[in-house]
Amino acid sequence: MTGTARRAAAVAVAVVTALTVPAGAAPAPTRIVVTDPSGDGNAVNSQGGTLPLPDSTVLPVSMGTADLVSLELSHVTHKVDGRTVCDGLRIVLTMAADVVDQTGLLFRLLASGVANDVWYVGYDTTADRVLLQHRRSGDNFNIVLPPAVVSGRTVTITVPQKVVLQTGEKAGGKLFLLSADTRVTTGDRFPVLIDKVTSDARWARC
């Protein structure tokens, strides 16, 4: 190939690429980590809720077991003949203090998807149950997920790929309007909000 032909071919590739990927566009990340300051798990630091704070000689009071310091979203995959196969999604919530054997807490991830107005995953430590709730076309659906893995300060929740597809979301789609929060369950209809993190990122599912 002559130099002129090579330059023409390179221009053709550049044109195809420009048509395929819009200028300035970036693929949605497959892994997201959102951090939050430690020490603000007290329902009053911009959390939008109210709670009678427990007696303490240390102020401000922060409930370490519900003090959310990071949210991590990633893929669960394995290899088959060199090909990556998606097994699902992983949600890791990290608190400021040990959450092993704690009851009365609710850990939640909330998002919107292409097919669902609401895509919600919640782990209730008292019931020891993980529930995925999604709302599509005005109808609400509940799916029980595998048990959460609680170790030290972290709570890990896995959403199997077959469940993702069951909710109507497509493989490779995106979740957006992401947020996670922690709440205290007191038997009331609305558990009290303790801490919350949000992200404007769009998370690409596998």
> Which domains does the chain carry?
28-204 (2.60.40)
Classify the C-alpha dihedral 109-189-63-200 as positive or negative.
Answer: positive
Q: Which of 28-42, 52-66, 118-132 has the lowest mean pLDDT?
A: 52-66
pLDDT digits (tens, 9 = 90+) for 60-96: 567 899 999 999 999 999 899 989 899 999 999 999 9
Question: What pLDDT is recorded for position 91?
Answer: 97
Lowest mean pLDDT across 30-34, 59-63, 145-149, 171-175: 59-63
Confidence of residue 112 (pLDDT cuts 50, 70, 90): very high
* Interval 192-202: pLDDT, tens: 888 999 998 88
User: In this model, does residue 180 exceed pLDDT 70?
Assistant: yes
What phi and psi values does residue 183 have, to the nearest 5 degrees?
Answer: -140, 160
Tokens representing residue 169 in the block: 């979301």
Tell me the pTM: 0.78
